[in-house]
Structure 1
Amino acid sequence: MMTKKTKWIIRICYGLGLLYIALFVHQPYHFLLLNTFLAYIPIEIAFHISPKYPRNTLLFWLGIVLWLLFYPNAPYLLTDLFHLSLLHPYADTGLIRLSVSMWIYFIYMLLAVIPSVLLAMWSMMQVTKSIVRRYNMHKRFAEIGIVLIFTTLSSIGIFIGRFLRLHTIYLLISPEWVLKPIFNMWSWQMLAFVCLMTLLQGVIYVVLRVIKNTN
């Protein structure tokens, strides 16, 4: 169970981090501001979900649906790592360049991606645990099933964001505008991408689960 103190530390760190990005991170990496903010939203939502809260069943499931809508924004950050190529990291010799500015932006990327992905995985653990305990489900089998559903749906969301360039907010403010491209996106390549991203999320989740159980 995450303490209130820890939650506030996370909030403050994200607030300061977003402020820093807004002031000091420039193009072509200013996208980190929006993407990191969107990645934080499911973490904040998970802070307010537990097996007994919200007490109202409708509010409980509305919270989970809202969490699921924003959750893909966190693992989506993993695909942003491709933007490291914009730094032109290789010298003419074929070796990686020793450029301070390049390594600074490399650190910016990792500081946005790693905490967001790990905390998002915690949020999935929290949401999954809340569902399982609230409805007294079989812990192991229910957890596997729920996590598989969440990671698969989020992988579809990552595809939509990366290749259709549609943000979660579009689903909320203009759902009719995004339905057609979503209906037309299905292909074998798309399904292969979804399977790969589901596998990646699953591996990260299992590793964190093992670490948590060890502690």
Structure 2
Amino acid sequence: MSYSDDELLMISGIQHYHYCKRQWYLIHAEQQWSENLYTTKGNILHEKVDDPFVVETRKNMFVSRSLPLVSYNLGFYGVSDVVEFILSDNGCYIKSKNNKYEVTPVEYKAGKPKSDDCDKVQLCLQALCLEEMLDVNIEQGYLYYGKTRHREKVNFNRELRESVAELSNKMHSIIKDEITVFPEYGQKCDRCSLKNLCIPKIKTTYSSVNRYIKSKLIDKEGIDA
């Protein structure tokens, strides 16, 4: 299957979707957003990294920042933080450098490594975009965490690739079929910048805002009586 330009979703959305479907839905379907301490830290870190005019060249490699990415097979587009190109006979041919390079994506995160795979699926999706664009196989990438100042190696194995494909299908189905994603309250809701927009506790109990308001009016009338 191949997606059109109008059907492309943002690469960053797969991280949101894996972490919380409701968060992804509010940001990418309803275009709602709100800042908090965690998102501000992330923005500051990316401002230091994302400079499309900076290309670092070292002995046997060069580094490209803010490289545009797209996959029409999976239906995603976005921008990478960093892509490292390391000189290798088994890599892809880069015309401007007149040589072959191994390709390694690097994603920067402000916090620390997470217990789930939400960051890993985002990085893997970036790799799949690069594979499609450059006709190359990418076996690994790195997640750099600002809190630990450490790079975590991520292997793009079959399981992770299949997970990305599955998430991609679900995300596109929600958009195509115009499905509303309702919240499911959990501990992570308290750290979410969209908590006040989502109101997870209320909407978990009441299926709609109208029903919630009506219930409160009934309660008030009963008290006044």
Which structure has greater strand proportion? 2
Same fold flag (TM > 0.5): no
Task: Specify which structure has the bigger relative contact order, considering alpha-carbon pairs within 8 angstroms and separated by 6 or more residues.
Answer: 1
Q: TM tier, shorter chain?
A: under 0.3
| Greater C-alpha Rg | 2
Normalized against structure 1, the TM-score is what? 0.27
Which structure has greater helix proportion? 1
Normalized against structure 2, the TM-score is what? 0.26
